[in-house]
């Protein structure tokens, strides 16, 4: 078994330095539907998951609407296997609505509740178990304010209105990160959803995504375990490698680059290696272990954290989660 004298933080610091740790770090995370509607129950569910599997980092995963509710977005739980909620009320319908978004007080409302949740998790785990807070990029938030297809229409037909909205969203997000920094978290898990060639051109992503991401992330620049999540397929990996991130996470089993290719493109850590549906949900423990071994071999175990390309579905069998956790133990 792993040497218990080595903390999760020490293992990750060794990993990110480029040295070979005592074992490959591993981390899985998931949504907690219904529990995610109050800070105390989300914190309890997050801690229970960590106490069950002892991962090397903990990602706090609130409902995706946590950053939108204070603008009036509403959603409901309808049983999605990812644990995500469906938006039932959006607040941007006309171009002028982007200009009406008010500045938010991040210490009040849903944002304030999420800060309380994060504080509870950080205090319970201590600094030797790193905690990451999920933060959605301004463009990702804009998508849920207006709707995915409509966002692309708006940014191409009424770009100045969308830019006005993005400036408001970006400032609230920057202030939220600034406040979250004070809780003792190790970094942000920064979710970028539109760096996909199937959605935007590089010029469009640079103008509506990257231009807001970099200022938003400024308060997190001195945190040691920021992780970037590139969502989707055909991702613009090379457009984000200079973000202030220690680790990049993407759907590496489903879309380029491979883990091996990514090591030549990014000098930091990589997180992935496990296919979250075909392997973690529908596969067997033996298949999970085999995929883990393959990923570790592909990276030579350097600057690599074993995980999935996105949230673990809520229906993933416990045996497969245990297999992923045990796959990194010496002799597994």
Instruction: List the chain pLDDT tens, one digit each, 332 residues.
Output: 445 689 999 999 999 999 999 999 999 999 999 999 999 999 999 999 999 999 999 999 999 999 999 999 999 999 999 999 999 999 999 999 999 999 999 999 999 999 999 999 999 999 999 999 999 999 999 999 999 999 999 999 999 999 999 999 999 999 999 999 999 999 999 999 999 999 999 999 999 999 999 999 999 999 999 999 999 999 999 999 999 999 999 999 999 999 999 999 999 999 999 999 999 999 999 999 999 999 999 999 999 999 999 999 999 999 999 999 999 999 88
Q: Is 331 within a domain?
A: no
> Which domain CATH number covers 163?
3.20.20.210
Alpha-carbon gap, residue 110 to 131, rounded angstroms:
20
Residue closest to 28 by CA, chosen among 324, 330, 248: 324
What local confidence, expressed as pLDDT, does residue 331 receive?
Answer: 85
What local confidence, expressed as pLDDT, does residue 2 receive?
Answer: 46
Question: Which pair of tokens denotes residue 134?
Answer: 């999920």
Q: Which residues pair with residue 248 across a beta bridge?
A: 228, 270
- The values of phi and psi at residue 30, to 5°, are -155, 165
Alpha-carbon gap, residue 39 to 310, rounded angstroms:
22
Element at 75 (helix H, strand E)? strand 74-76
Q: Is 156 within a domain?
A: yes
Sign, Cα dihedral of 5, 20, 309, 225:
positive
Alpha-carbon gap, residue 82 to 283, rounded angstroms:
17
Alpha-carbon gap, residue 92 to 221, rounded angstroms:
31
Contact, 198 vs 232, CB < 8 A?
yes
Question: Which pair of tokens denotes residue 105?
Answer: 């007080």
**Number of folded domains that form the chain:** 1
Q: Is 29 within a domain?
A: yes
Alpha-carbon gap, residue 228 to 247, rounded angstroms:
6
What local confidence, expressed as pLDDT, does residue 4 receive?
Answer: 63
Domain that holds residue 71: 8-326
Q: Is 189 within a domain?
A: yes
Q: Is 308 within a domain?
A: yes
Q: Is 1 within a domain?
A: no
Q: Is 332 within a domain?
A: no
Q: Is 3 within a domain?
A: no
Question: First vs last Cα of the chain: how many Å apart?
Answer: 10
Sequence-distant (6+) residues with CB within 8 A of 60 are: 42, 46, 117, 118, 121, 131, 132, 133, 134
Residue closest to 41 by CA, chosen among 126, 127, 117: 117
């Amino acid at each position: 078994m792993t040497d218990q004298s080595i903390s999760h933080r020490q293992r990750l610091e060794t990993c990110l330095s480029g040295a070979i740790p005592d074992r490959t770090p591993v981390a899985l995370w998931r949504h907690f539907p219904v529990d995610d509607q109050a800070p105390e129950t989300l914190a309890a569910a997050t801690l229970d998951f960590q106490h069950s599997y002892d991962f090397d980092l903990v990602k706090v995963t609130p409902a995706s609407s946590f950053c939108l509710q204070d603008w009036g977005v509403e959603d409901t739980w309808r049983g999605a296997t990812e644990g995500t909620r469906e938006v039932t009320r959006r607040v941007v319908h006309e171009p002028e609505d982007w200009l009406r978004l008010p500045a938010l007080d991040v210490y009040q409302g849903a944002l304030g509740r999420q800060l309380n949740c994060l504080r509870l998790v950080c205090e319970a785990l201590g600094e030797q178990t790193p905690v990451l807070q999920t933060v959605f990029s301004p463009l990702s938030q804009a998508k849920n304010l207006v709707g995915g297809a409509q966002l692309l229409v708006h940014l191409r037909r009424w770009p100045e209105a969308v830019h006005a909205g993005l400036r408001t969203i970006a400032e609230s997000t920057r202030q939220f990160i600034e406040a979250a920094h004070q809780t003792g978290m190790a970094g942000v898990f920064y979710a970028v959803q539109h760096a996909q060639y199937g959605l935007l051109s590089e010029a469009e992503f640079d103008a509506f995504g990257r231009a807001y991401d970099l200022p938003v992330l400024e308060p997190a620049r001195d945190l040691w375990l920021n992780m970037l999540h590139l969502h989707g397929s055909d991702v613009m990996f090379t457009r984000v490698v200079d973000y202030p991130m220690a680790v990049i996470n993407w759907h590496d089993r489903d879309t380029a680059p491979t883990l091996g290719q990514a090591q030549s493109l990014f000098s930091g850590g990589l997180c992935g290696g496990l296919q979250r549906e075909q392997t973690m949900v529908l596969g067997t423990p033996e298949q999970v272990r085999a995929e883990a071994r393959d990923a570790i071999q592909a990276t030579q175990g350097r600057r690599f954290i074993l995980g999935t390309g996105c949230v673990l579905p809520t229906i993933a069998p416990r045996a497969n989660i245990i297999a992923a956790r045990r796959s990194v133990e010496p002799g597994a």
